[in-house]
């Protein structure tokens, strides 16, 4: 239970959110080129809406050049083509059509639909079109297919070589888990040499046409390298799979920034993902006890003074989530935050919505002790909530700023039922975040 003096400091620091973002938040973000906006769940309407609204401001007022989301590169690339005017899709709903694997509601929801529609309209008159990109690594087979498809258009002989290399995965069909299991335990030879060779060839082929198209193909080839390692590592019982995934996501952010700078742009990227990826892992139990790193930590380390980490939190309400993997999404009731948690302390301020600038000295002084913090992914398990959804954290070191909503509402999905996943693993496997 927070002391009265503790609550008084928090109450003075809390800046109300009344539908618009206060100047204090925009000033706190400043000139950062990498703004990472998290969420405490993958199914809260307010988290998605605030993130979209803030991103619009950063694009319109501060010249941000790209949005990078916790989604697979090929799925997001279809959206990227649409918002940049190079797609046959008639509207934003159609452009979201490749997000067909569990959990579809993460990106097939009303907030993202409206944002994608807005971004396409914005880009029509923009001097610099803003991109929409994925940074996750689950799309092993679809990314390999994309590499071959690109090369078939520009160099059929190179496409033949790529097809031969990627045929290493054919004995396992489209099930990367079977490949990972067999390769991890030596039942079959790993395909690492083949995917690395393909990436190396693409990186050397600066003669291939279309700088954007070549870069997108190279990113798919890079994803195949990292996904091959990821699927092998996930069966070895270590934290390597998490660290490989988050390193890939951070590398993707940096690759996009480097690609934009090579085109003469002042690369500024907004990143959308879960708090567990975008908060600095060094301030969490995941790092202290398990050695995890994450995107927020890596981008902070690589771009000191040029990165802003913004978390989001809620005390209670509802969330869109499933009960199990590949299950139907439901509107679930979120239990009140546990006593002694970050959520409970913020609830004690009796304010409906506010933000905190965690860089202020008084915030560093208030939260000197570890606090429980809740993380809800695509699965919500209230019956085991303490073990399933809470970690000990130092919030003032984990984020630069924090948005808070006392009672949240469930995210509005576009689909009435989840389409069962096929092929590659569902997004957020196996952690749900």
Q: What is the C-alpha separation between 138 and 336, in angstroms, rounded?
A: 33
Cα torsion 104, 109, 113, 115: sign: negative
Contact 343, 374 (CB under 8 A): yes
CA angle 249, 255, 259 (to 5 degrees): 150
The pTM (predicted TM-score) of the whole model is: 0.93
Q: CB 255: neighbour CB atoms within 10 A?
A: 16
Question: What is the domain partition of the chain in residue ranges?
Answer: 4-135+263-408, 140-245
CA–CA dist 416, 407 (Å, integer): 24
CATH 3.40.1660.10 fits 4-135+263-408, yes or no: yes
pLDDT tens series, the chain, 433 aa: 556 777 888 989 999 998 778 889 999 999 999 999 999 999 999 999 999 999 999 999 999 999 999 999 999 999 999 999 999 999 999 999 999 988 999 999 999 999 999 999 999 999 999 999 999 999 999 999 999 999 999 999 999 999 999 999 998 878 888 888 887 777 667 899 999 999 999 999 999 998 899 999 999 999 999 999 998 887 775 568 899 999 999 999 999 999 999 999 999 999 999 999 999 999 999 999 989 999 999 999 999 999 999 999 999 999 999 999 888 999 999 999 999 999 999 999 999 999 999 999 888 888 888 999 999 999 999 999 999 999 999 999 999 999 999 999 999 999 875 433 334 444 554 455 6
What is 53-109 written as a DSSP string?
A: HHHHHHHHHH---EEEEEEEHHHHHHHHHHHTT----SSHHHHGGG--SSSGGGTSB
| Distance in angstroms (rounded) separating the CA atoms of residues 242 and 293 | 8
């Amino acid at each position: 239970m927070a002391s009265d003096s503790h609550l008084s400091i928090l109450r003075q620091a809390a800046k109300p959110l009344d539908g618009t973002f206060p100047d204090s938040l925009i000033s706190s973000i400043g000139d950062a080129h990498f703004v990472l906006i998290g969420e405490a769940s993958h199914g809260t309407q307010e988290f998605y809406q605030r993130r979209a609204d803030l991103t619009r401001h950063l694009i319109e007022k501060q010249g941000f050049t790209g949005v990078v989301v916790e989604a697979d590169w090929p799925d997001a690339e279809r959206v990227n083509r649409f918002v940049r005017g190079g797609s046959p899709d008639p509207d934003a709903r159609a452009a979201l059509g490749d997000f067909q694997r569990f959990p579809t509601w993460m990106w097939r929801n009303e907030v993202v639909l409206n944002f994608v529609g807005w971004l396409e309209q914005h880009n029509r008159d923009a001097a610099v079109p803003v991109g929409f990109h994925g940074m996750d690594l689950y799309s092993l087979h679809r990314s390999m297919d994309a590499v071959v498809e690109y090369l078939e258009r520009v160099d059929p002989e190179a496409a033949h070589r790529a097809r031969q290399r990627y045929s290493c995965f054919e004995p396992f069909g489209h099930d990367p888990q079977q490949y990972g299991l067999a390769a991890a335990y030596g039942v079959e030879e790993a395909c690492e040499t083949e995917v690395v060779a393909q990436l190396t060839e693409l990186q050397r082929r600066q003669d291939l046409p279309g700088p954007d198209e070549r870069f997108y193909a190279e990113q798919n080839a890079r994803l195949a390298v990292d996904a091959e390692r990821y699927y092998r590592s996930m069966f070895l019982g270590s934290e390597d799979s998490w660290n490989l995934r988050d390193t890939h996501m951070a590398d993707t952010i940096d690759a996009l920034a480097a690609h934009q700078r090579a085109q003469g742009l002042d690369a500024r990227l907004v990143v959308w993902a879960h708090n567990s990826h975008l908060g600095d892992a060094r301030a969490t139990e995941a790092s202290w006890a398990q050695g995890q790193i994450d995107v927020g930590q890596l981008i902070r380390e690589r771009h000191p003074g040029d990165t802003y980490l913004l978390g989001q939190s809620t005390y209670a309400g509802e969330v869109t989530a499933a009960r199990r993997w590949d299950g139907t999404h439901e509107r679930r009731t979120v239990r009140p935050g546990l006593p002694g948690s970050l959520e409970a302390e913020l609830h004690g301020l009796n304010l409906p919505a506010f933000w905190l600038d965690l860089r202020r000295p008084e915030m560093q002084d208030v939260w000197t002790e570890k606090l429980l913090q809740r993380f809800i992914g695509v699965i919500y398990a209230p019956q085991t909530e303490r073990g399933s959804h809470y970690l000990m954290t130092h919030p003032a070191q984990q984020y630069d700023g924090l948005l808070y909503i006392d009672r949240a509402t469930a995210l509005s999905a576009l689909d009435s039922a989840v389409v069962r996943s096929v092929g590659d693993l569902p997004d957020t496997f196996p952690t749900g975040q």
